[in-house]
């Protein structure tokens, strides 16, 4: 009998009614003669509430106690699921991370799973039981509870699939899968049937809503195929797998857009070693996430312009840091809110020439000005005025045949 790992997200177990539905889904796999390992997140909103409580107790709440506190939501949902399965006549029980144990390394709040003891779970599966395992938590070498980052039950599921050599790993959530672009921004967005790990990681702004990015990295390293689907509607979802498993005739798999970016330009900075590092060091110290960075070639070899983008909410802090940084010299400092980054993503562009041109021509046809360009092997991003972002998204979606 093959093993299948079924993971349920917070919204899938958000109410008692939904938990009953989840037990229904689990029982279908059990009846199909799979050995089923269930992983659950906390009921939606619960983890946030617990985080809030910790802050009310102390601004410097102990990190070890934080992990013990915020991982408690998973105990509740797992017991409720197991209880419902027992009610339906199945053999089931909840397992907390320490009871297995699931071993983690690293700092509190952000540990990584490195080992899972299989013995007890295998024994239980062989007896026909359905183990319901808490996602998000583990224990460290001191037997303290740890958590593996917000949204971490995805990574728990991937690691369980890895250690138990599961045939399938299915992530049940509140969306039907990964879309070619955000369906809230473009009605024509289509569900993607298959996507590579790399594309999924690049689709950060789309993908991150569906799965925790580090869990996709875990899946990629361990070659675990993931299926993301809705727990409310019984329809095929999106499979995330390695590139060589994908026979795809589309060049572009998806388009992502941001809508809340700001652009900063330092005009006339010295063109010499160490300048860029001097500019970005205090930003990184202040945890300001810099996204696109472009430096012009300097026509005279003395001065150059440097442009970068950040989230709009970091703009005033960035302005302050740059103005106070006396070790950088520049002629002018320019800031612009209201820019949007549009990225086309697809492994197909590696082997298809002319994708860059097609993207630029499509925007040119709409008279949309490109302010900054950056590329990776499987992604081309442009920065444009925010007011054009919807139009750009629609035009590119059509150009690369994602409407169909
Ligand atoms: N309950 C945890 C959180 O809210 C873990 C998860 O949802 O995956 O972050
Ligand atoms: Mg989640």
Residue 229 bridge partners (DSSP): 172
Does one domain contain both 147 and 37?
A: yes
- Whether the pLDDT of residue 33 is over 80: the answer is yes
Does one domain contain both 374 and 263?
A: yes
- Whether the pLDDT of residue 300 is over 90: the answer is no
Residue 60 in domain: yes
CB 393, CB 342: distance < 8 Å: yes
Does one domain contain both 155 and 276?
A: no
Burial of residue 65 (number of CB atoms within 10 Å: 0-12, 13-18, 19+):
middle
- Whether the pLDDT of residue 302 is over 90: the answer is no
CB 346, CB 250: distance < 8 Å: yes
Residue 132 in domain: yes
Residue 241 in domain: no
Does one domain contain both 126 and 269?
A: no
- Whether the pLDDT of residue 240 is over 90: the answer is yes
Give the model confidence (pLDDT) of 151-199 as tens digits: 999 999 999 999 999 999 999 999 999 999 999 899 999 999 999 999 9
Domain with residue 287: its CATH number is: 3.30.2130.10
Domain with residue 38: its CATH number is: 3.40.1160.10
**In the predicted model, what is the mean pLDDT of residues 318-329?**
90
Residue 231 in domain: no
Give the model confidence (pLDDT) of 50-71 as tens digits: 999 999 999 999 999 999 999 9
Return the ligand 1 atom nearest residue 136 CA. 5
Return the ligand 1 atom nearest residue 154 CA. 8
Count of domains observed in the chain: 2
Dist. CA 151 → ligand 2 center (Å):
4
Residue 286 in domain: yes
Domain end point (choices 174, 203, 235): 174
**In the predicted model, what is the mean pLDDT of residues 23-36?**
96
Does one domain contain both 148 and 8?
A: yes
Dist. CA 154 → ligand 2 center (Å):
7
Residue 227 in domain: no
Does one domain contain both 29 and 152?
A: yes
Give the Cα separation of 273 and 290 in Å (integer). Answer: 20
Nearby residues of 360 by Cβ (< 8 Å), 6 or more positions away:
370, 382
Q: Which domain holds residue 323?
A: 257-399
- The ligand placed nearest to the CA atom of residue 173 is 2
Return the ligand 1 atom nearest residue 212 CA. 8
- Whether the pLDDT of residue 208 is over 80: the answer is no
CA-closest residue to ligand 1 atom 8 = 151
Residue 226 in domain: no
Does one domain contain both 159 and 294?
A: no
Does one domain contain both 272 and 386?
A: yes
**In the predicted model, what is the mean pLDDT of residues 258-273?**
91
CA-closest residue to ligand 1 atom 7 = 151
Return the ligand 1 atom nearest residue 151 CA. 8
63-70 vs 46-57: helix crossing angle, rounded to 10: 150
**In the predicted model, what is the mean pLDDT of residues 93-113?**
97
**In the predicted model, what is the mean pLDDT of residues 362-377?**
95
Dist. CA 143 → ligand 2 center (Å):
25
Residue 297 has a pLDDT of 81
Domain end point (choices 174, 207, 224): 174
Query: What does the block give as tokens for 265?
Result: 């330009």
């Amino acid at each position: 009998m093959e093993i299948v790992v079924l993971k349920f997200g917070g919204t899938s177990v958000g109410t008692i009614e939904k938990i009953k539905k989840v037990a229904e889904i689990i029982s279908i796999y059990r009846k199909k003669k799979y050995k089923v390992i269930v992983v659950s997140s906390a009921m939606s909103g619960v983890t946030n509430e617990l985080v809030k409580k910790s802050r009310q107790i102390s601004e410097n709440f102990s990190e070890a106690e934080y992990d013990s506190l915020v991982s408690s939501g998973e105990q509740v949902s797992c017991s409720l699921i197991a209880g419902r399965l027992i009610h339906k006549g199945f053999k089931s029980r909840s397992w907390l991370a320490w009871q297995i144990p699931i071993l983690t390394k690293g700092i509190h709040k952000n540990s990584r799973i490195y080992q899972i003891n299989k013995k007890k779970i295998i024994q239980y599966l062989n007896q026909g039981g359905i183990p319901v395992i808490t996602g998000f938590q583990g224990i460290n070498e001191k037997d303290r509870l740890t958590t593996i980052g917000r949204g971490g039950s995805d990574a728990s599921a991937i690691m369980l699939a890895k250690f138990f050599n599961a045939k399938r790993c299915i992530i049940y959530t509140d969306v039907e899968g990964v879309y070619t672009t955000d369906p809230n921004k473009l009605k024509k967005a289509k569900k993607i049937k298959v996507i590579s790990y790399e594309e999924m990681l690049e689709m950060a702004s789309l993908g991150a809503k569906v799965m925790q990015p580090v869990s996709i990295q875990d899946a990629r390293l361990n070659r675990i195929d993931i299926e993301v689907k809705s727990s409310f509607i019984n329809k095929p979802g999106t499979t995330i797998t390695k590139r060589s498993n994908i026979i795809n005739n589309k060049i572009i798999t998806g388009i992502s857009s941001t809508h809340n970016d700001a652009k900063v330009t330092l005009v006339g900075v010295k063109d010499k070693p160490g300048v860029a590092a001097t500019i970005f060091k205090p930003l990184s110290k202040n945890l300001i996430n810099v996204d696109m960075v472009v430096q012009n070639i300097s026509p005279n070899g003395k001065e150059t312009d440097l442009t970068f983008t950040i989230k709009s909410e970091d703009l005033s802090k960035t302005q302050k840091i740059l103005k106070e940084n006396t070790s950088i010299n520049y002629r002018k400092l320019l800031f612009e809110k209201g820019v949007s980054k549009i990225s086309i993503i697809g492994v197909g562009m590696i082997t298809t020439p002319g994708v860059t041109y097609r993207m630029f021509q499509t925007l040119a046809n709409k008279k949309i000005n490109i302010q900054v360009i950056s590329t990776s092997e499987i992604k081309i991003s442009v920065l444009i005025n925010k007011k054009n972002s919807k139009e750009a998204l629609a035009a590119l979606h059509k150009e690369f045949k994602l409407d169909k």
